[in-house]
Chains A and B, each alone.
Chain A
Amino acid sequence: MLKINNLQAGIEGKEILKGIDLEVKAGEVHAIMGPNGSGKSTLSSVIAGREDYEVSGGSIDFEGEDLLDLGADERAHKGIFLSFQYPVEIPGVTVTNFIKTAINESRKARGEEPMPANVMLKKMREKMALLEIDNAFLSRSLNEGFSGGEKKRNEIFQMAMLEPKLAILDETDSGLDIDALRIVANGVNKLKSKDNAVIVITHYQRLLDYIVPDYVHVLHKGKIVKSGDKSLAHELEAKGYDWLKEGAVEA
């Protein structure tokens, strides 16, 4: 589904990603871990198509298509979703209106008619129940005055509504208490299928107890320095990142 080859990218002339290789197949869950400043969020931004970042080398293919030629909105239309670490506020735009616009813009891009209101409403109800979201939530301004937990839950709610092929969860666990974490993780698990894939970006093992990864990658100084299965996450939890940092220097 997603193939990243020797990806190099940076911002304002500073190189952050120094040759990333990563392949994600349908049905898989990948976790990307690493210390602060290792390039985790840069990687998610580059995949999603944020224009501030310059790609200086390598390639990203999504279902056989070169992603780097596409704008962020076109990538979204192809089924790429990024759950933001810091979701932005859009005053005066309700959650409902935002989601409706997002869904229908994607449908328009695919040459489909707008989703009928009753279908959308039914779907919203279903996903709200899944994420234990209250009705009043829908008519609030997008992220305005939301708590950290509400913002993250709203991200996963949007993901549930948009049904992406590839979801990247950028530190979705930060700012969540243990109950919210469980609800969010449960939501993600329910949305998982053999046809879609998830990349979980996190500092901590904690989220991976709930969303169990097939692969764990450790990112350090813009490179994947180690890959393994879920036991690697436990190892990191026990030993920290230092032993890998040293390893990276030696390598």
Chain B
Amino acid sequence: MKTEESYLEEVTASEYKYGFYTNIEADKVPPGLSEEVIRIISAKKQEPEWMTEWRLDAYRKFLKMTEPKWPNVTYPEPDLQAISYYSAPKKKKELDSLDEVDPELLKTFEKLGISLEEQKRLSGVAMDVVVDSVSVKTTFKEKLAELGIIFCSMSDAIQEHPELVQKYLGTVVPKSDNYYAALNSAVFTDGSFCYIPKGVRCPMELSTYFRINEAGTGQFERTLVIADESSYVSYLEGCTAPMRDENQLHAAVVELVALDNAEIKYSTVQNWYPGNKEGKGGIYNFVTKRGMCERNAKISWTQVETGSAVTWKYPSCILKGENSVGEFYSVAVTNNYQQADTGTKMIHLGKNTKSTIISKGICAGHSNGSYRGLVRIGSRAENARNFSQCDSLLMGNGCGSHTFPYIETQNKTAKVEHEATTSKIGEDQIFYCNQRGIGEEEAIALIVNGYCKDVLNQLPMEFAVEAQKLLAISLEGSVG
């Protein structure tokens, strides 16, 4: 007789399906971190002097900081001197068509099911593909340019739009914000930049796929999205990473700026390599994501987190302007020995600001998942509103789920609601599905997708499909 544990173990024993390694020649800086290395990175990228200085300033601030210990995760501290801070595919010339893209790379994308051709033809998604820090391909650039939309790599933005970069870079996440944000500010090699002009509604989902692709290479992306007054943009970020033995550090910074009446929708599907079944290997994902809302602006974060060995990540909103709105929709899956400490911060500063938090945690195997959220209502935030719902779904008896909701209010007119539930996938539910001809694996996918529906519904259609697949891959094995 199979017990609930045994089949949960069986179905959660999924191998990482995207574990392959693309053999592209890379141009690499020797491991180590110093002012010298930062100068080399900046020089290799032919950056202007102000950018080099900005990095060095960040580095000096970083040197005075220590790694945060408050997240509910344990891991050996990464050796920052063992990391190579720059790795770029050697073939760096401008590409006009897909034919010019390294065929190895195209194969990789095919395996992931995100072939550029298909994406372009079927969904009209413009993609800025980042492989190991340097943009390889930017599509739809011209079409967007007609509307005055700038969507390019951060490197290009520094060269071509220095005034915008200088004006906004580091304004939402300051260089000294935290240990890993400071590190990122010093050594980031690339990322995406997006600017939507006043009154423009971006006609397509902007999309970036990041991959870590060179052994021993940490990746430090920097993303900056600026939505000028009364503009709208939906931005998609998806990640998959190949299998690695040693842990890899990933410390990204994402800054969103939503000016008056603007709206930014930022969606992420994160599937970095989570380590093997014994908890060996996997990505350390220490990310700082934050958005600034001016008057009547809205920022909506949606994330589906299935990967990484260790994650700490709190996409946040600073609701500075009156009537601004912040939203956070999250599904975080941990399996085997994964650890995740994730949530959001909603900082209400302006009057009549509103925030919504929907967090769905799913824990399986021996994993540990924590929700950590802060809702702060400032003294001038009259009539601020927050609604938070934090649910946990447990699979089996070896995992742990924790909720750390912090609420700080300095204004009596604030209204803050918090709801939380914890549930287990029941044997009854599985049997019911089985009896209708739905196998265990499919049953768990069905139940989990139902549980996450409120979050998945926030994703653009094609992304939702991919997210469902990822949930299935993360939680299911090859039963039967």
Contacts and interface: CB of A to CB of B under 8 A. Distances in A.
Contacts of A102: 433, 436-438
Contacts of B21: none
Given A51-B1, A101-B442, A76 B454 contact: no
Contact of B434 (A54, A71, A81, A162): A71
* B interface residue count range (under 10 / 10 to 19 / 20 to 34 / 35 or more): 20 to 34
Contacts of B435: 48-49, 72-73, 75-76, 81-82, 84
Interface in A70-128: 71-73, 75-77, 81-82, 84, 87-88, 90-93, 97-98, 101-103, 105-106, 109
Contact of A92 (B1, B427, B428, B450): B450
B442 A105 contact: yes
B432 A92 contact: no
A103 B123 CA distance: 30
B19 to A, nearest CB: 27
B404 interface: no
Nearest to B3: A51
A51 B435 CA distance: 11
Contacts of B434: 49, 71-73, 76
B449 A93 contact: yes
Most chain B beta carbons < 10 A, residue from A52, A75, A106, A109: A52
A174 interface: no
Interface in A36-67: 48-52, 54
Contacts of A101: 438, 442, 446
A106 B446 contact: no
Contacts of A172: none
Contacts of B429: 88, 90
B436 A90 contact: no
B361 to A, nearest CB: 15
B431 A50 contact: yes
Contacts of B453: 92
B297 interface: no
A93 B447 contact: yes
A141 interface: yes
A158 interface: yes
A54 B1 CA distance: 7
B436 A91 contact: no
A48 B447 CA distance: 21
B442 A92 contact: no
B458 to A, nearest CB: 14
B346 interface: no
Contacts of A92: 449-454
Contacts of B121: none
Interface string B404-439: 000000000000000000000011110111111111
B438 A88 contact: no
B64 interface: no
Contacts of A91: 450-451
Contacts of B92: none
A105 B439 contact: yes
B2 interface: yes
Contact of B437 (A88, A105, A141): A105
Contact of B432 (A52, A84, A162): A84
A142 B451 CA distance: 12
Contacts of B433: 73, 90, 102
A48 B1 CA distance: 15
B437 A93 contact: no
Given A51-B2, A88-B432, A105 B438 contact: yes
Contacts of B1: 51-52, 54
B389 to A, nearest CB: 13
B447 A72 contact: no
13 contacts: A48-B435, A72-B431, A72-B435, A73-B434, A73-B439, A77-B437, A90-B446, A91-B450, A91-B451, A92-B453, A105-B439, A158-B436, A162-B437
* The 6 nearest A-B residue pairs measured at CB: A92-B450, A93-B450, A72-B434, A76-B437, A92-B453, A102-B436
Interface of A: 48-52, 54, 71-73, 75-77, 81-82, 84, 87-88, 90-93, 97-98, 101-103, 105-106, 109, 141-142, 158, 162
Given A88-B432, A105-B436, 8 more contacts: A54-B1, A73-B435, A76-B435, A88-B428, A90-B433, A101-B438, A102-B437, A102-B438
